[in-house]
Chain A
């Protein structure tokens, strides 16, 4: 078995992995990226729509363009890229981490390093995760799989489509299916508000007159060999109105019911998972519970914008580089999700410097207030024109604001949306 040594190994070559690797290399470390697919880029390759890179490149790009620009940056640096290479395990051996991977070209390879950056992205929830009753006919796909089939491989999964769930991938696919000549009959969402970005509701549904059934449950998928339709019923005041159920004929059902960070590998390495994000628990330097193992991008928590993925991953790369150079976090303060906040990532801030946090709210509200409290005392409050669960909120907690926290033993910060 071949063994290679690096200062840091990055697992996953999507936007997150590339951004983290570039940062590590820029600080003088020997870095490798291990990617399962034949080419760098991750999920971006199949996202042929525009809407990427406004923050990063100040230009509106498609997913493939965004990916290729980063791929070129990586190619221009002495970063070892192992494509077509799947990581099977990650283990700590004393001070070292050993990443075992397998590729058809080289067989099993072991990569030894001091630091590891987890950047494996996320996967889609499927029918099993949401328990829709009915037979198991052909024609049910997750929206991301359908996206790959249509955009990369050139197959059309069906003609008459119903989309279950209003996540962004489903919305994007509603437009794509319409543009390739299919008829999208409905998007069915169990919640009272859409779970995708507003602009996707506008561009992908309203433009095509596709009805969006909010507060509707898909009660059954019909069909023996092939999907023949779905049955949908409204939810009114928390009760399922079966008497008002109706059937929508279709031959294809796309599921867009959420994404889950891909952490099988992290678990085997003993990384503690935060149940609120399904991603690794991370300290203020984006380091997981395993010393020297960092995480960023969709593997840490699901992001809706690649620009945020890149921003977070650069920080992870820089933190990993600092850790390799011997730096350790100073005084850390716990961060908790308060009222109406689903999670805050990471769950720690460092008192002596500026910190960047991402949070997700559970509510839809205009003129909301973001409030940060330190042991019950308001540190910061800022107005938000509009908040909703599908739009991640960013927050900076500066050194000045945290000055008081450094003195308090066992202090904790709570972030709420009011």
Chain B
């Protein structure tokens, strides 16, 4: 059985063909039993395995900024009302909805520095949510 996937690890977007060999026995143990072709680099093979078994996505979003007294934003310079954020690593796809709810519940005082951890160990999965821009 073969399946087609598009690698999204980098912008090249290689088209991958994943073959499940007969011995895969329901696909429980894929190492060595999934053969991946069409990838221009090893990350493509790793992506195919992960996408079929435990899909993950880097989540990017914005959260609410609370302008502090005297900050640039409160004086109307720089109109940013939202702080851009991202996960520090790809996040399990089926829990993205819960993660977004946690991000939208944040209210962060300004100023904020790029890289500041806004949620540590999100949903107990060992991944942080950080600010992606310095504001205020």
Say yes or no: B6 contacts A198, CB within 8 Å: yes
Q: How many residues of B sit at the interface, in one of the four size bands? A: 20 to 34
A54 to chain B, nearest CB (A): 5
Given contact pairs A48-B62, A48-B132, A179-B61, A65 touches B114 in the complex (Cβ within 8 A): yes
Say yes or no: A68 contacts B11, CB within 8 Å: no
| Set A50, A153, A198, A203: member contacting B79, Cβ < 8 A | A153
Chain A residues lying within 8 Å of B86, measured Cβ to Cβ, are 48, 50, 62
Chain A residues lying within 8 Å of B40, measured Cβ to Cβ, are 385
Given contact pairs A48-B84, A68-B134, A152-B82, A54 touches B57 in the complex (Cβ within 8 A): no
Chain A residues lying within 8 Å of B10, measured Cβ to Cβ, are 54, 60
Chain B residues lying within 8 Å of A151, measured Cβ to Cβ, are 62, 82, 84
Say yes or no: B82 contacts A154, CB within 8 Å: yes
Say yes or no: B133 contacts A64, CB within 8 Å: yes
Say yes or no: B133 contacts A60, CB within 8 Å: no
| Set A54, A62, A150, A153: member contacting B11, Cβ < 8 A | A54
A188 to chain B, nearest CB (A): 21
A161 contacts the other chain (CB 8 A): no
| Set A45, A61, A150, A203: member contacting B57, Cβ < 8 A | A203
Say yes or no: A154 contacts B61, CB within 8 Å: no
A199 contacts the other chain (CB 8 A): yes
Once the chains are docked, how many angstroms separate the CA of A64 from the CA of B59? 14
Once the chains are docked, how many angstroms separate the CA of A167 from the CA of B119? 33
Chain A residues lying within 8 Å of B38, measured Cβ to Cβ, are 385
B57 to chain A, nearest CB (A): 7
Say yes or no: B81 contacts A153, CB within 8 Å: yes
| Set A50, A68, A386: member contacting B114, Cβ < 8 A | A68
B38 to chain A, nearest CB (A): 8
Map CB proximity to B onto A52-74 as digits: 1 under 8 Å, 0 otherwise. 00100000111011011000000
A125 contacts the other chain (CB 8 A): no
B115 to chain A, nearest CB (A): 8
B60 contacts the other chain (CB 8 A): yes
Say yes or no: B6 contacts A199, CB within 8 Å: yes
| Set A48, A68, A391: member contacting B60, Cβ < 8 A | A48
Say yes or no: A50 contacts B6, CB within 8 Å: no
Say yes or no: A38 contacts B78, CB within 8 Å: yes
Q: How many residues of A sit at the interface, in one of the four size bands? A: 20 to 34
Say yes or no: A197 contacts B58, CB within 8 Å: no
A305 contacts the other chain (CB 8 A): yes
Residue of B nearest to A41 (CB): B133
Once the chains are docked, how many angstroms separate the CA of A64 from the CA of B86? 11
| Set A51, A65, A154: member contacting B62, Cβ < 8 A | A154
Say yes or no: B81 contacts A203, CB within 8 Å: no
B80 contacts the other chain (CB 8 A): yes
Chain B residues lying within 8 Å of A60, measured Cβ to Cβ, are 10, 58
Within A382-412, the residues touching B (CB, 8 Å) are 385-386, 391
B97 to chain A, nearest CB (A): 9
A236 contacts the other chain (CB 8 A): no
| Set B11, B58, B61: member contacting A305, Cβ < 8 A | B11
Say yes or no: A38 contacts B77, CB within 8 Å: yes
Map CB proximity to A onto B62-79 as digits: 1 under 8 Å, 0 otherwise. 101000000000000111
Say yes or no: B81 contacts A65, CB within 8 Å: no
Say yes or no: B15 contacts A45, CB within 8 Å: no
Once the chains are docked, how many angstroms separate the CA of A409 from the CA of B61? 57
| Set A62, A198, A201: member contacting B84, Cβ < 8 A | A62
B8 contacts the other chain (CB 8 A): yes
Say yes or no: B132 contacts A198, CB within 8 Å: no
Chain A residues lying within 8 Å of B58, measured Cβ to Cβ, are 50, 60
Q: What are the nearest 10 A-B pairs in CB distance?
A: A64-B133, A198-B13, A48-B84, A199-B8, A154-B81, A154-B82, A62-B132, A64-B132, A199-B13, A49-B60
14 A-B pairs with CB atoms under 8 Å apart are A45-B133, A48-B132, A62-B84, A62-B86, A152-B81, A152-B82, A153-B79, A153-B82, A179-B61, A199-B13, A202-B13, A304-B11, A385-B15, A385-B40
Interface residues, chain A, with chain B CB atoms under 8 Å away: 38-39, 45, 48-51, 54, 60-62, 64-65, 67-68, 150-154, 179, 197-199, 201-203, 207, 304-305, 385-386, 391
Interface residues, chain B, with chain A CB atoms under 8 Å away: 6-8, 10-11, 13-15, 38, 40, 57-62, 64, 77-82, 84-86, 93, 96, 100, 114, 132-134
17 further A-B pairs in the complex, CB-CB below 8 A; given A61-B132, A65-B132: A48-B61, A50-B86, A51-B11, A54-B11, A150-B62, A151-B84, A152-B79, A152-B80, A179-B100, A198-B13, A199-B11, A199-B13, A202-B6, A203-B8, A305-B11, A385-B15, A385-B38
